[in-house]
Amino acid sequence: MNAVPPPLPGRELLSRGAETMSRALDQARSLAEVAARQAEALAPKPPQPPAMLGFLGRSPLTLMQEAMEYAVDATQRSILFWDTMRRAGNEFVEHEKQGCPPVLVFEWDMMVDGRTLPRRCNYALVRIKPPVGTRPTDPKLRPFVIIDPRAGHGAGIGGFKSDSQVGVALRRGHPVYFVIFFKDPEPGQTILDITAAERTFLRKVHEAHPDAPKPVVIGNCQGGWAVMMLGASDPELMGPLVLNGAPLSYWAGEKGRNPMRYTGGLAGGSWPAALLADLGNGKFDGANLVLNFEGLSPGNTWFKKYWSLYEKADSEPERFLEFEKWWGGYYLMNRDEIRWIVENLFVGDRFARGEISAGPGRGGATFNMRSIKSPIIVFASAGDNITPPGQALRWIADVYRDEKEIRKLGQTIVYLVHDDIGHLGIFVSGKVANKEHTEIANTLDMIEAVAPGLYEMRITGSEGSGVNAGYQVELVSRTIADIRQVSGEANNEAFPAVAKISAVNQTIYDLVVGPVVRQVTTEATAELRRQLHPMRARRYMVSDLNPFMLPFAAAAERVKAQRAPAAADNPFLTAERAFADRVEGAIDAWRDWRDAWTEAAFHAVYGTLAAFGAAEATAEEEAAETADTLADAPEMRAALAHVAEGNYAEAVVRMMILLARARGGVRRSRLARSQAVLTGEAPFADMTSAARQALIREQTLIVEMAPEEALATLPKLLPEAVERRRALDTVEGVAGPEEELGEPAQAMLARLRSVLGLARG
């Protein structure tokens, strides 16, 4: 018989009550803030001018002529629109028959097929062939490895047109590899099997390019956390990591915005994903994820996209068809895969907290982002409502206590936030490829010469051929406080409450509901559900499978031969555009109302649960956090023990770090000069890349932990006057004109001269 627990002492009861009251007040304030943000977002918009103004001042005869002109134009555009929809439907049907191959526009060779590995999975490594007539790749240049997202769609978005991530790297002569995947998962494959396959892929790239630096690994969206898992488990395989729109901190975001992070909580956690997988006979249909994405911006995905095709029926079809081929390719996941993703990332947010197991054979280890030693570049956008900046950046503040710790650990993290591009624009926009991705690629050549720390990349200037044209790049030193400001809300206790409630609901589902669903589901019923899914059915309905669509092919040919567009100033066109804007505005207003109530309901339910202790951390979680903060202490002590040891190489690197620390940032021109010194001049030219990185890492630790001692011991590293002059001249050459350095850097340069006993050269 279980013993009855003794009553809590009065003082402890009072303490618990006060703590509960404090949490309740915090949640009440949070809910009030939500309400204030919602009131601002839902405030009435200023009225638009009446569309009928364009009809004023025209004679009845003129209006009649313009009406007839518009009627012909509108009818022709309608025919062209439906013919394009028919073509899109046919391409969807054909794409499905072919098994949804990658949508890459570049030819490729298979390097490693994951379906043949000991731990089989549906991933593969391919090598991209440079297009005929373009620059051949140089095997000694750093390879680029691009991992696309497997989040409902197929592979290829990073290279489905020439102005893309693949195109940028090929134009620079880099070998380019792409990680693709197939529609159907291998039986029993898990996320950890995929991680193991990607390790094999990187080893294959190393073997193919033994004389090249370690590969750049680029992760798009979901591929971003896959890249980080690789970097955490096998840091020796990785060169710089680039994360584009990657959701690593799913709880983060701004109140009044980013509603997608609340859906898991309002659905009760991870069990709906498990139910859908069980209804799919063990396979989760990616079309469900795509349907959710469309619901985030219904005004665009349900109306504006198609209206633009109708309005620009002469010029828009090819772009529309190109994108729809990728957007309409739906892939499947195993039950264990989607459950792992939802429980660990979307609901549990466990990656940033180092709570994801690295799998069998790893001695109980977890994926710890602090283990990553390669430079990390994060690209996010304020206009991204799928992976907002908070979800892309907040992990930095979760993993590292402050920016000093980043420097002490020898880590370099650079982030870039676009002002307004949407989530897909990060990967598919030609303008983004030719600006942000190109400048990131240009900076990667020099990123390993940057002193460890946290930086924001700023790109200024403009594209063109004038005297002052071209982009300028600067890395500006930032703090963890800056990350918190960008990322918005992250530590609200409502989200940990979701994780705990989700675990309870999932257990109930696994014990009570799941076995029944699996018993009555067959592959035939699962396939029927997939074919009847609205994301597929709406494409079948407009294909040639529907006999009512067949006449549009011939009609479209006749329209193209007799096309008569209305004049641009036709008032009926103006009224048409005004109507479209109002429809889109009405849909967006409904979306805003929906999102507002979603957020309010989430905080009301889970905020209340959190206030009564549903989100309290366990002793094991608190112990894990403490262990993380102490893990790297021995390395720091070892670096300090060598503060007075070294020679010319240590002195030059230390002085450059001291100057960069004082300057608070670095322009790419200085970074290029630093890279030239560290790779082209003795004694650095004889070092391996790993040795240079170890040297920079050690000197950064010394400067960060003991800056005054690091400065004072420079004469011991350079006992000879000739070496002192040579080292100072090298550092001054990298720094550039002294008048451009700014006062703090000028003061540090003066101190360097004073300590070394040298006058200005």
When pLDDT is cut at 50, 70 and 90, the band that residue 627 belongs to is: very low
User: Looking at domain 108-249+344-360+368-486, does it have CATH number 3.40.50.1820?
Assistant: yes
What pLDDT does 469 receive? 59
Residue spans of alpha helices (H) in 317-410:
317-327, 335-341, 389-399, 403-408
What pLDDT does 630 receive? 41
Residue predicted with more confidence, 185 or 697: 185
- Quote the Cα angle for 557-543-74, to 5°: 45
Q: Which two tokens stand for residue 609?
A: 């649960």
DSSP character at residue 357: B
What pLDDT does 489 receive? 62
- Is pLDDT at 410 greater than 90 in this prediction? no
Which segment of 390-404, 548-562, 747-761 scores lowest on mean pLDDT? Answer: 747-761
Please state the rounded mean pLDDT for residues 181-199: 93
Residue predicted with more confidence, 55 or 371: 371
Q: What is the mean pLDDT of the chain?
A: 85
Which stretches of 343-436 are assigned E, i.e. beta strand? 376-381, 412-418
Cα 86 from chain centre: 33
- Residue that has been written with the tokens 């993993």 in this structure: 399
CA dihedral for 298, 302, 303, 309, sign (positive or negative): positive
Please state the rounded mean pLDDT for residues 617-629: 46
DSSP character at residue 98: T
φ, ψ dihedrals at 244, nearest 5° = -110, 110
**Distance in angstroms (rounded) separating the CA atoms of residues 531 and 285:** 10
Question: Which of 312-316, 595-599, 655-659, 729-733 ranks highest by mean pLDDT?
Answer: 312-316
CB 264 within 8 A of CB 318: no
CA distances from 108 to 128, 253, 426 (A): 4, 39, 23
- Is pLDDT at 620 greater than 50 in this prediction? no
φ, ψ dihedrals at 182, nearest 5° = -100, 165
pLDDT over 70 percentage in the chain? 87
Q: Which amino acid is at 145?
A: V
**Distance in angstroms (rounded) separating the CA atoms of residues 113 and 215:** 19
CA distances from 134 to 157, 167, 351 (A): 21, 11, 41
pTM, entire model: 0.86
Question: Domain ranges in the chain?
Answer: 108-249+344-360+368-486, 633-756
- Is pLDDT at 58 greater than 50 in this prediction? yes
Pairing label, strands 283-285, 144-147: unpaired
HEC assignment per residue over 17-42:
HHHHHHHHHHHHHHHHHHHHHHHHHC
pLDDT digits (tens, 9 = 90+) for 226-262: 899 999 888 889 899 999 999 888 888 877 777 778 8
Which residue from 271, 274, 252 is spatially nearest to 261, judged by alpha carbons?
A: 252
When pLDDT is cut at 50, 70 and 90, the band that residue 41 belongs to is: low
Q: Which amino acid is at 497?
A: A
Q: Which two tokens stand for residue 166?
A: 């693949």
Which stretches of 88-200 are assigned E, i.e. beta strand? 108-113, 123-128, 144-147, 176-181
Residue spans of alpha helices (H) in 262-360:
263-266, 271-279, 287-296, 298, 305-311, 317-327, 335-341
3-class SS of residue 550: coil
CB 626 within 8 A of CB 42: no
pLDDT digits (tens, 9 = 90+) for 120-161: 999 999 999 999 888 899 999 999 999 998 888 888 888 877
CB 222 within 8 A of CB 245: no
φ, ψ dihedrals at 488, nearest 5° = 75, -150
- Is pLDDT at 1 greater than 50 in this prediction? no
Contacts of residue 423, defined as CB under 8 A and 6 or more positions apart, other chains included, come to: 221, 245, 381, 384, 385, 386, 387
**Distance in angstroms (rounded) separating the CA atoms of residues 228 and 413:** 13
Residue 333's DSSP bridge partners are 284
CA distances from 561 to 2, 76, 568 (A): 87, 11, 20
pLDDT digits (tens, 9 = 90+) for 59-82: 888 888 989 999 999 999 999 999
φ, ψ dihedrals at 19, nearest 5° = -65, -40
- Is pLDDT at 50 greater than 80 in this prediction? no
CB 224 within 8 A of CB 148: no
What pLDDT does 134 receive? 83
CA dihedral for 72, 76, 79, 82, sign (positive or negative): negative
- Residue that has been written with the tokens 């360097």 in this structure: 752
Which segment of 199-213, 353-367, 387-401 scores lowest on mean pLDDT? Answer: 353-367
**Distance in angstroms (rounded) separating the CA atoms of residues 382 and 109:** 37
Contacts of residue 330, defined as CB under 8 A and 6 or more positions apart, other chains included, come to: 100, 152, 153, 154, 285, 286, 287, 290, 533, 535, 536
pLDDT digits (tens, 9 = 90+) for 16-26: 555 555 655 66
Question: Which of 8-17, 629-638, 733-742, 750-759 ranks highest by mean pLDDT?
Answer: 750-759
HEC assignment per residue over 468-528:
CCEEEEEEEECCHHHHHHHHEECCCCHHHHHHHHHHHHHHHHHHHHHHHHHHHCCHHHHHH
When pLDDT is cut at 50, 70 and 90, the band that residue 39 belongs to is: low
pLDDT over 90 percentage in the chain? 39
**Distance in angstroms (rounded) separating the CA atoms of residues 394 and 483:** 6
**Distance in angstroms (rounded) separating the CA atoms of residues 88 and 538:** 11
What pLDDT does 619 receive? 41
When pLDDT is cut at 50, 70 and 90, the band that residue 629 belongs to is: very low
**Distance in angstroms (rounded) separating the CA atoms of residues 225 and 713:** 42
Pairing label, strands 376-381, 241-244: parallel
Which residue from 247, 230, 245, 238 is spatially nearest to 165, judged by alpha carbons?
A: 245
When pLDDT is cut at 50, 70 and 90, the band that residue 52 belongs to is: low
pLDDT digits (tens, 9 = 90+) for 285-336: 999 999 988 888 899 999 999 999 999 999 999 999 988 988 888 999 999 9
Please state the rounded mean pLDDT for residues 491-504: 82
What pLDDT does 699 receive? 85
Q: Torsion angle of alpha carbons 414, 420, 422, 424, nearest 10°?
A: -50
- Is pLDDT at 636 greater than 70 in this prediction? no
When pLDDT is cut at 50, 70 and 90, the band that residue 704 belongs to is: confident
Residue spans of alpha helices (H) in 354-458:
389-399, 403-408, 423-428, 430-432, 438-444
Question: Which of 5-14, 175-184, 409-418, 587-596 ranks highest by mean pLDDT?
Answer: 175-184
DSSP character at residue 449: G
Residue 243's DSSP bridge partners are 219, 378
